[in-house]
């Protein structure tokens, strides 16, 4: 196996999972991007991180991008003798915008791009499967990898995805404090009432229709009864903002496991609590992309 000369850069988007009723299935890529660059060196590992989370991530082989790269290299047949990695992070960590999925997908796509003939050694289906295996859930991974609106599921052991095109306005409200995905998931009950599960099934189907051509249905389509309210105690300010915007007729959801709040609208930034960061974003249609060379 041979490696390309010089540095390679990959740009990978943030993602919002669940989108209200589509728990662990729906994902949306949004135009907030991390950029990671790597090149082969003679020996060792050098990791440099700037931007979001730079003081809280390891700078060794346990860095999530490095772990993903090594897993991809192993599938393709061998690791390089040494690696220099530079991460420029824009996606906030622990906020429900898919930072872990972006790191995993970015690392896999980057490793593939660094290998001569990497697209043949590790095609999209195999790369996506590896990303899901590493992440544990397919929803954020699918959106980060393929872009657009994705429906993701596990069929047996196989990771599957359908990608759809959507053009919807998005505003994200990012609070200053993080909430761990494990903590948020731990608040979910083992069972939910049948009527709530049935409502979510119908709303998930409606949401796909709303996002692909029926935007006037978004306020109904984003209703959820199986996860957001159960997590409210871990993010009371986020849940309060969610309810406020929905009462005002704005289709709004908790992004992923939270605490970021996502509204399918523009011109609502003034609703943000003090100290929160607001971004009006487009949908990212491209997913993880090699931008250099």
If you average pLDDT over every residue of the chain, what do you get?
96
Residue 53 marked ligand-binding: no
pLDDT value, residue 180: 85
Residue 293 has pLDDT above 90, yes or no: no
Kindly state the percentage of the chain with pLDDT values over 70.
100
- pLDDT tens-digit series, residues 178-203: 988 888 889 999 999 999 999 999 99
Whether 240 has a pLDDT exceeding 70, the answer reads yes
Question: Is 210 assigned to a binding site?
Answer: no
Is 26 a known ligand-binding residue? no
Residues contacting 83, CB < 8 A, separation 6+: 38, 39, 40, 41, 44, 45, 46, 66, 69
* pLDDT exceeds 90 at position 98: yes
User: For the residues 21-31, what does the mean pLDDT come to?
Assistant: 97
33 assigned to a ligand binding site: no
Per-residue pLDDT tens digits for 244-265: 999 999 999 999 999 999 999 9
**Mean pLDDT of all residues in 65-73:** 98
Residue 100 is assigned to a ligand binding site: yes
Rounded CA separation 61/45 (Å): 8
CA angle 155, 158, 163 (to 5 degrees): 80
Asked whether residue 267 is marked as a ligand-binding residue, the answer is no
Report the chain's C-alpha Rg in angstroms.
Answer: 19
* 126 carries a ligand binding annotation: no
The 3-state DSSP class for residue 179 equals coil
Q: Is 193 annotated as a binding residue?
A: no
Give the CATH fold of the 8-165+283-292 domain.
Answer: Ribosomal Protein S5; domain 2 (3.30.230)
Structure token pair of residue 67:
């772990």
Domain boundaries, the chain: 8-165+283-292, 170-281
pTM for this entry = 0.96
DSSP 92: P
pLDDT at 183: 84
Residues 157, 168 contacting (CB under 8 angstroms): no
Q: Judge whether 27 is annotated as a binding position.
A: no
- Report the alpha-carbon distance of residue 102 to residue 145 in Å, rounded: 8
* Mean pLDDT to the nearest integer, 35-40: 98
Which SS3 state, helix, strand or coil, does residue 99 take?
helix
Q: Does domain 170-281 have CATH number 3.40.50.300?
A: no
Is 39 a residue whose pLDDT tops 90? yes
The pLDDT score that the predictor gives to residue 112 is 98
- pLDDT classification of 49: cutoffs 50, 70, 90: very high
């Amino acid at each position: 196996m041979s490696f390309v000369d010089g540095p390679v850069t990959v740009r990978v988007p943030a993602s919002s999972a669940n989108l209200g009723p589509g728990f662990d299935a729906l994902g949306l890529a949004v135009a907030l991007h991390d950029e990671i660059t790597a090149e082969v060196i003679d020996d060792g590992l050098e990791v440099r991180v700037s931007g979001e989370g730079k003081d809280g991530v390891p700078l060794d082989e346990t860095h999530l991008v490095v772990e993903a790269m090594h897993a991809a290299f192993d599938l393709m047949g061998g690791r390089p003798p040494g690696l220099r990695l530079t991460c420029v992070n824009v996606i906030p960590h622990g906020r429900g915008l898919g930072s872990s999925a972006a790191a995993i997908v970015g690392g896999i796509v980057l490793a593939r791009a660094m290998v001569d003939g990497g697209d043949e050694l590790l095609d999209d289906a195999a790369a996506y499967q590896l990303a899901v295996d590493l992440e544990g859930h397919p929803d954020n991974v699918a959106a980060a990898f393929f872009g657009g609106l994705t429906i993701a599921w596990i069929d047996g052991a196989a990771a599957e995805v359908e990608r759809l095109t959507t053009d919807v306005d998005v505003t994200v409200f990012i609070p200053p404090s993080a909430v761990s995905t494990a903590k948020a998931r731990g608040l979910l009950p083992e069972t939910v009432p049948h009527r709530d599960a049935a409502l979510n099934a119908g709303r998930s189907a409606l949401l796909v229709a709303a996002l692909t051509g029926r935007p006037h249905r978004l306020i109904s389509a984003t209703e959820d009864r199986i996860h957001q309210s159960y997590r409210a105690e871990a993010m009371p300010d986020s849940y309060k903002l969610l309810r406020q915007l929905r009462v005002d007729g704005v289709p709004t959801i908790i992004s992923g496991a939270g605490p970021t709040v996502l509204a399918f609208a523009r011109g609502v930034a003034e609703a943000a609590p003090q100290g929160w960061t607001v971004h009006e974003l487009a949908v990212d249609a491209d997913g993880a992309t090699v931008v250099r060379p």
